[in-house]
Amino acid sequence: MATRALPTPTARLGRTVRASGPSSEVGGVVLLLPDGAVESHRRPSPFTYAGQLPFARALARAGREDGLTVHVLHYRHRGWNAQDADPAADAEWAADEVVRRYGDVPVCLVGHGMGGRAALRAAGHPAVSAVLAMAPWLPARAGAPARTGPETAAEPVKQLAGRRVLIVHGTNDSHTDPELSFRLASRAKKANRDICRFEVHSDGHALRQHRAEVVALASDFVQGSLFARSYARPVADALAAPPPLGLRMPLAAGFGQSLRH
């Protein structure tokens, strides 16, 4: 008896997350890219998607006046899967889907861990104007201690040209190496001045210890990048500062309590 092939899984956008605001028009879209695994062709757990919803709602509330819409991407596979870079391919598909659904609106890719790497890798899509990578999982350089997996090839940065880019990393991250995100930001900054990086001192991979500040920083960056609103002073200073100052900017306790003053 012949064995029927299982259908190939497909990526899909999660349900629309949006807060009520003055306009019914979609003014911009955030695609949230969750974390994952190094190697796996399994479907991600539903808990991976559900865990992103509070963050999605917070971003949507902050951007309600501008019609910000947020979607959490459902990957085809849980893993990066070496050269297949499946989450990055899914992110590019999602950007195409945003254009199909909403037309010519600015898109910000926001990813955590493996999703942070996918956001950086897929930044070259024409619809993407900004990228936020939180605790991004990046390949180690050859000969360096690798906390991030066996890959050693340098991560590309050319696709970041013309995009606003923010990287956020906890200094106590034991899962992804913050030094690697600093090195990537340093390479990218040589060709694109609109890149900054914030360090969350004493925080780990999940960035839970200073969650309120991280959410406020993400919201400020999204609104400033997609809707041409003025950035909070620390973000503006980080973008303007020469390296390494703007790439090792400490995220201050209480950030977000008095923004845009």
Average pLDDT of the chain?
92
Query: What is the spatial distance between Cα 184 and Cα 94, in angstroms, rounded to a whole number?
Result: 24
Check residue 3 and give its pLDDT: 52
At residue 256 the predicted structure's pLDDT band, cuts being 50, 70 and 90, is confident
Cis peptide preceding 244, ω within 30 of 0:
yes
Check residue 142 and give its pLDDT: 39
Check residue 89 and give its pLDDT: 97
Q: What does the pLDDT look like over 214-254, one tens digit per residue?
A: 999 999 999 999 999 999 999 999 999 999 999 999 999 99
pLDDT > 70? residue 126: yes
Check residue 140 and give its pLDDT: 76
At residue 8 the predicted structure's pLDDT band, cuts being 50, 70 and 90, is low
Is 258 among the domain residues?
no
Is 228 among the domain residues?
yes
For 63-99, b where at least 16 C-beta lie within 10 A, e where not — what string? bbebbbbbbbbbbbbbbbbeeebbbbbbbbbbbebbb
pLDDT > 80? residue 66: yes
- Mean of the pLDDT values across residues 11-25? 92
At residue 258 the predicted structure's pLDDT band, cuts being 50, 70 and 90, is low
Is 43 among the domain residues?
yes
Is 221 among the domain residues?
yes
At residue 146 the predicted structure's pLDDT band, cuts being 50, 70 and 90, is very low
- Structural domain boundaries, residue 235: 12-250
Check residue 213 and give its pLDDT: 97
Instruction: Please tell me the total count of domains within the chain.
Output: 1
How many CB atoms lie under 10 A from the CB of residue 12?
14
Of 123 and 22, the structure prediction assigns the larger pLDDT to 123
Q: Both tokens of residue 13?
A: 């956008």
Check residue 261 and give its pLDDT: 41
Check residue 145 and give its pLDDT: 47
Query: What's phi and psi for 212, nearest 5 deg?
Result: -60, -45
- Residue 28 amino acid letter: G
Is 200 among the domain residues?
yes
Of 184 and 144, the structure prediction assigns the larger pLDDT to 184
Check residue 141 and give its pLDDT: 56
Query: What CATH number should be reported for the domain holding residue 131?
Result: 3.40.50.1820
Is 7 among the domain residues?
no
Is 225 among the domain residues?
yes
Is 6 among the domain residues?
no
